[in-house]
Structure 1
């Protein structure tokens, strides 16, 4: 969106003129977006466009940035007190009779922490969403705690954040930052953002960047040392706060927010795998989380409405809350357990299986467990056309998938010489081509969206454990493992992670449907019952595999052997492949 097409007004305060733009219906609750350094309001253009479909959205150029004027003199003109004056002037103009929802990024968040913790704004702020910018008061107390009671861990945290804050020291030097921004750095900044942070250009940054960055250096000079050395003791938030933490932020440590609950009575935490400039790189996810938080706090103000609890309480809830997760083979076993685990973490779930009733049951249970929404979809993963239609339908009706779990699979046992061509085709169609179809269609959508994602492919310990009894199955899973490694390399530049999960012997119903090459009906049934008893005695639950899948996504792990035997086989395949080959020659007991 081009913000020049929005409604614009000028707000005068403290001898300066602020450029304010508005989108959406002015009668609806107001969301105020505050930009950071060295940005202008255009950093929010994608987020603002999406939020404006439901809310009254207001953006303004901070003093000295964009189309707002700069104070004279610059020194002393950017204190948090004066920035708070500006904020109050803006909300008096755009929402005089109703509290506003504030969203801040980087220095916009630093400012907004001041807004939400000082007495003169109490009652004017309905909620605050913070990202990539701490309260300077909280930061000051964080430093003092670690200096007065040092431990190896606390000293490590201080040193780590100190290294990340290198740019703060540079900005305190006189004249040099201004010369750099108005010279080579200002010219190269768009390319730096594009290469280092994967930030798309569009209408950002604007031509005012060199002057914005030069003026904005006074944000640091006027506030940082004063507040860090003498932090306020009463910096408690008087409105609900949503904290969104990019886990790959190059400038701020996640540890800065460890004691935040002591300052914020009502706190919702979110995290996402991204770098610093999330308004540009993850606008869809931000708009979703901001809109959800605003809606929850608006309804909380109504008589009889529930409070602003918008996240699930399960493990990984702050990471997956509200995200869209699609799981194939979800009617039973590992797929069903995985769908439930993501549901418990607050994700929206699409459960896919050839068994339409089973997929629907999984979706229904996922909603009961905690998924804000869940749907069952019938599809055969081996059918290319069906998977392409499924991907198109999911994108149109539910959105672009954030996490794809290619889990559907079938078993096939028997010697190579007894395995027919048709049996080979069937196992490869499901176990390998099913994964390929999922990666092609859903992975392409992730890549085209350009906002990251994650793909999980269920392989097997059989991928690196040769066996004379499982040539077709092991081949299919080894191919899935290598496919995952190749995709991981290719999609890394798109911020899409790829993980291969390698369970071992897990107690699922795959044994009840496993085919045994060369066996007649009676013999196949006997072998199925025997295998089911063995798996039942092992009794490794699929829920543990599901937990491993969530951890793999959170940690962006490449290959994850799950069970002890899978981990042992993986290690042996690297240290002593000859031993595995010897074991592979053993004939399994019948």
Structure 2
């Protein structure tokens, strides 16, 4: 089994580094002693972040940056050159950049859906393959970390294109993992699957609905996902669910798909709409342009955000701690689903019998 360096000895590439999960990960990794290659589209935000990280008391120059759109493989290849020139290469590559669209699929322009896939899926593909090539050429082990989502397993109405892209990320990552292992390359591929996270996700998403969007409760702090990412850089797992809500949703979808879909179509549309906030005009978010500021959190997000102070212990310890509760909750849901299905069948039985004759 391959062994991986501790975070303080790693060089980590992070795409989407100037916002949300990527920003939280960059700050946490720098605090723990890692050296970083920061990637995003906005040069001004990247330079500001690099200055912030490098200026910390007692910290050596730990961060360089490279402006790149992950949808352009040529720009991503230049990131490798920056990493090699500054640090001699990298150990972990984190594909974090992403964007969403709120609205029904039938009402969402195909051009916008293609652009979303260029970032969320093809950006991950380009980044992963470029990282694998570098690690293969250098004959060194490493980790590729791809940001999936709870919707990698459980598609949401009103975020259909986003859900599809995250399903694709999970499938691509699994196939790449098997192929690299078959080649004997000591490169792990981990998929991080957070539940809803308190980031500028809404601000960056395109919205084609008639009201403002919201994320269903509960939301988790981006620092929790950052910790899972850094844990995966040292102790890579096939997939890591962040937040009990993510694990619960995934298990429910696998074990009772019909029941889960019924719940989602009943409750999720209303939970993603702010009926009290009509949308004044459709906006593209960051689908086609970069964000303009450094911001980990979503301003004005309604609902419940889990307290950052509740984050204690290692990611593996938290997975073990929530596992029993999640399994119990899923079990209760399955009992209810089976009960509902039995009642439905019993109610339909006379009708079906009559139809046969």
Provide the TM-score with structure 2 as the length reference: 0.70
Counterpart contact for 2:20–2:200, Cα < 8 Å: yes
Select 2:254's aligned residue among 570, 574, 582.
574
- Helix, strand or coil at the partner of 1:417: helix
Instruction: Specify the SS of the correspondent of 2:107.
Output: coil
Q: CA deviation at 1:376?
A: 2.1
The answer to whether structure 1 residue 516 and structure 2 residue 207 are counterparts is: yes
* Maintained 8 Å contact 2:7/2:234: no
Residue of structure 2 aligned with 1:499, choices 187, 190, 205: 190
Residue correspondence of structure 1 range 313-328 to structure 2 within 5 A: 319-328=6-15
Task: Measure how far apart 1:365 and its partner are.
Answer: 2.7
**Aligned 8 A contact 1:379 1:387 in 2:** yes
Contact 2:120 2:165 in 1 (8 A): yes
- Alpha-carbon distance in structure 2 between the residues aligned to 1:565 and 1:329: 24
The answer to whether 1:431 aligns with 2:120 is yes
- 1:123-142 aligned at under 5 Å gives the runs none
Distance (whole Å) between structure 2 residues aligned to residue 539 and residue 581 of structure 1: 21
Encode CA deviations 1:354-401: one digit per residue, 9 max, x unaligned.
121222222223334546521122111111221122223433443221
Does the CA contact (< 8 Å) of 1:466 and 1:580 recur in 2? Answer: no
Match of 2:280 in 1: none
In structure 1, the partner of 2:230 is 550
Counterpart residue number, 1:364: 51
Q: Which has the larger Rg? A: 1
Q: 2:157 touches 2:265 (CA, 8 Å); kept in 1? A: yes
Does the alignment pair 1:468 with 2:157?
A: yes
- 1:527 corresponds in structure 2 to 212
Whole-Å Cα distance in 1 between the matches of residues 72 and 168 of structure 2?
18
Taking the aligned partners of 2:227 and 2:27, their CA distance within structure 1 comes to 10
Q: Distance in 2 between matches of 1:515 and 1:371?
A: 39
Deviation at 1:335, TM superposition (A): 0.1
Give 1:447 shift. 1.4
Distance (whole Å) between structure 1 residues aligned to residue 137 and residue 161 of structure 2: 34
User: CA, structure 1 residues 538+364, in 2 after alignment: closer, same or farther (shift >3 Å)?
Assistant: farther
Following superposition, which runs of at least 4 residues in structure 1 exceed 6 angstroms of deviation? none
- Correspondence 1:138-537 to 2 at 5 A: 248=1, 272-273=3-4, 319-369=6-56, 370=59, 372-492=61-181, 493-517=184-208, 519=209, 523=210, 526-528=211-213, 531=214, 534=215
Change (3 A) 1:333 1:497: same
Is the 2:66–2:82 Cα contact (8 Å) retained in structure 1?
A: no
- Report the CA distance between 1:443 and its aligned residue: 1.8
Aligned partner of 1:169 in structure 2 is none
Separation in structure 2 between the aligned mates of residue 322 and residue 360 of structure 1, nearest angstrom: 23
Contact 1:343–1:371 (8 Å) recurs in 2? no
1:467 offset after TM fit, Å?
Answer: 2.0
Structure 1 equivalent of residue 316 of structure 2 = none
Q: Structure 1's 468 and 371: CA in aligned 2 closer, same or farther, altered over 3 A?
A: farther
- SS at 2:13 equivalent: strand
- Structure 1 residue 405, shift from structure 2 partner: 0.3
Structure 1 contact 432–477 (Cα < 8 Å) conserved: yes
Instruction: State the alpha-carbon separation in 1 of the partners of residues 135 and 259 from structure 2.
Output: 41
Mapped to 2, the partners of 1:543 and 1:339 lie a distance apart of: 10
Q: In structure 2, which of residues 269, 277, 280 is the aligned counterpart of residue 588 of structure 1? A: 269
Long gaps (5+) in structure 1: 1-247, 250-271, 274-317
RMSD over aligned Cα atoms: 2.0
SS at match of 1:566: helix
TM-score in terms of structure 1 length: 0.43
Q: 1:565 pairs with 226, 233, 245, which one? A: 245
The one-character-per-residue Cα deviations of 1:169-200 (angstroms, maximum 9, x if unpaired) are xxxxxxxxxxxxxxxxxxxxxxxxxxxxxxxx
Question: Which structure's relative contact order is higher, taking Cα pairs within 8 Å and 6+ residues apart?
Answer: 2
Aligned-partner Cα distance in 1 for 2:229–2:55: 21
Equivalent pairs counted in the alignment come to: 266
Residues 565 and 446 from structure 1, CA distance in 2 versus in 1: closer, same or farther, beyond 3 angstroms? Answer: same
Q: Secondary structure at the match of 1:474?
A: helix
**Structure 2: runs of 5+ lacking an equivalent:** 274-357
